[in-house]
C-alpha cells in the first residue's frame, strides 16, 4: 500500500511557488497579491484564514486581509469586492464562506472578477472547466489531480467513482477525471445519497474518491483489491479527526490511499496559492 502524502506534496508545491516569486521579485517584479475577505467571527473561518495568510507569507505572496464585522451590509461587502476588482495590485480575491446570516454569498461570488477568481467558484470558471478551456479550477479537486500526477497514479482508461456531488468538490472533480489526459480519460460515476447500490458502484471502481462528509463511510467491503482511495472528507468525532473512509480497515486492501489529516487537506491551500500565481503571471504577462 502506497500512502499518498498530501502534506509533503503541498510543501513541495509551496517551495516551488516561493522560488519563482523570489526569482521574479528579485528582478523588480511586484509580488503576487491575494485579498482575503472574512466577515464575522466564525471560529473555524478565522482558523482557515490565518492558515491561508501564513501560507501566503511563507510563499512570498502578499496577503491583503479584510476583516469585517458581522454587521456588514450586503452593499458594503459588494463595494469592497468592486474596489478589489479594480485594484491592479490584487491578483486574487478569496471570500471566506460561510457568510453571516443576511448576506447573499452567491451574489458576492458572482461579483468577483472571474480573472481574480482563484477559488474557482465563479460560473465562468466552472463553465471554462466544463468546456476544457483554460481557467481557474476549484482548489480541492485541482489538488486531488495534482496528487495523482505527482504519485504517478494515472486514471486513463480506469473506472472512477466520486461519492458526493457538491459544487466545490464532487462535480468539478468528475469533470476533471473525464477530460482528456493521462490523469483524466476515466469512466466516471458520480454517486450521491440517491444512488441505488453505492457499495456495488464502489466495488467496481479502480479509483474511489470520497467527499460525502460522513465519518468512515467507505468500508473495506466497498473497495476492490488494488483500488486507489482518495479521502476528501474531514470530520470531527469524539475520537478525533477522521475522513470519509475507514482508513484502518481499507488501507491494507487498496494500492494507494490518502490519510486524514495530511492527505487532500493541505493540497487545497497549496492550489489556492498556485491559482494566485497563475493569475499573477497572466496579469503581468509572465506566462
Has residue 272 been placed in a domain?
A: no
Final residue in a domain of this structure, among 76, 96, 113: 113
Residue 80 · residue 99 · CB < 8 Å = no
Task: Judge whether 276 lies within some domain.
Answer: no
Tell me, yes or no, if 46 is annotated catalytic. Answer: no
* Kind of pairing between the strands at 33-39 and 207-210: unpaired
Same domain, 87 and 187: no
Q: What is the pLDDT of residue 37?
A: 97
Query: What is the rounded CA–CA span in Å between residue 176 and residue 286?
Result: 26
CATH number for the domain including 233? 3.40.50.720
Q: Which of 119, 206, 231, 244 is catalytic?
A: 119
96 as an active site residue: the answer is yes
Residues 108 and 144 in one domain: no
pLDDT for position 238? 87
pLDDT tens, the chain, 287 aa long = 899 999 999 999 999 999 999 999 999 999 999 999 999 999 989 999 999 999 999 999 999 999 999 999 999 999 999 999 999 999 999 999 999 999 999 999 999 999 999 999 999 999 999 999 999 999 999 999 999 999 999 999 999 999 999 999 999 999 999 999 999 999 999 999 999 999 999 999 999 999 999 999 999 999 999 999 999 999 988 888 899 999 999 999 999 999 999 999 999 999 999 999 999 999 999 97
CATH assignment at residue 45: 3.40.50.10860
Same domain, residue pair 146 and 201: yes
Residue 100 in any domain: the answer is: yes
In a domain, 11, yes or no: no
278 carries an active-site annotation: no
Residue-number span of the structural domain to which 60 is assigned: 30-113
Domain count, the chain: 2
Write down which residue in 113, 130, 147 finishes a domain: 113
Query: Which pTM does this prediction carry?
Result: 0.95
The verdict on 98 and 34 lying in the same domain is yes
- In the chain, beta strands by DSSP E: 2-3, 33-39, 62-68, 92-95, 159-163, 187-191, 207-210, 228-231, 235-237, 240-242, 256-257
**Can you give the pLDDT at residue 239?**
85
Domain shared by 47 and 98, yes or no: yes
Locate 215 and state its grid cell: 465519518
CB 140 within 8 Å of CB 274: no
Residue with cell 516569486: 21
Q: Which of 52, 116, 171, 274 is catalytic?
A: 52
Amino acid at each position: 500500500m502506497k500512502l499518498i502524502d498530501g502534506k509533503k506534496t503541498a510543501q513541495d508545491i509551496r517551495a516551488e511557488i516561493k522560488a519563482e516569486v523570489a526569482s521574479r521579485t528579485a528582478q523588480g517584479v511586484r509580488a503576487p497579491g491575494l485579498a482575503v475577505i472574512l466577515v464575522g467571527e466564525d471560529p473555524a473561518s478565522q482558523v482557515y484564514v490565518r492558515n491561508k495568510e501564513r501560507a501566503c507569507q511563507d510563499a512570498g505572496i502578499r496577503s491583503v486581509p479584510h476583516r469585517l464585522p458581522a454587521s456588514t451590509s450586503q452593499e458594503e461587502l459588494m463595494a469592497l469586492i468592486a474596489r478589489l476588482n479594480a485594484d491592479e495590485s490584487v491578483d486574487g480575491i478569496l471570500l471566506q464562506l460561510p457568510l453571516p446570516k443576511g448576506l447573499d454569498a452567491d451574489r458576492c461570488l458572482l461579483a468577483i472578477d472571474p480573472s481574480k477568481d482563484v477559488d474557482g467558484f465563479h460560473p465562468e470558471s466552472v463553465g471554462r472547466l466544463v468546456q476544457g478551456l483554460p481557467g481557474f479550477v476549484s482548489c480541492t479537486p485541482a489538488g486531488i489531480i495534482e496528487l495523482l500526477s505527482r504519485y504517478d497514479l494515472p486514471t486513463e482508461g480506469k473506472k472512477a467513482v466520486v461519492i458526493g456531488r457538491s459544487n466545490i468538490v464532487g462535480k468539478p472533480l468528475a469533470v476533471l477525471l473525464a477530460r482528456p489526459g493521462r490523469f483524466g480519460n476515466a469512466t466516471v460515476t458520480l454517486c450521491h445519497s440517491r444512488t441505488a447500490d453505492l457499495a456495488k458502484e464502489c466495488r467496481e471502481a479502480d479509483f474511489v474518491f470520497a467527499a460525502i462528509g460522513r465519518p468512515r463511510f467507505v468500508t473495506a467491503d466497498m473497495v476492490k483489491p488494488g483500488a486507489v482511495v482518495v479521502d476528501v472528507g474531514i470530520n470531527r468525532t469524539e475520537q478525533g479527526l477522521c475522513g470519509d473512509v475507514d482508513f484502518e480497515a481499507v488501507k491494507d486492501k487498496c494500492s494507494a490511499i490518502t490519510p486524514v489529516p495530511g492527505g487532500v487537506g493541505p493540497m487545497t491551500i497549496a492550489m489556492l496559492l498556485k491559482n494566485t500565481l497563475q493569475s499573477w503571471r497572466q496579469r503581468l504577462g509572465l506566462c
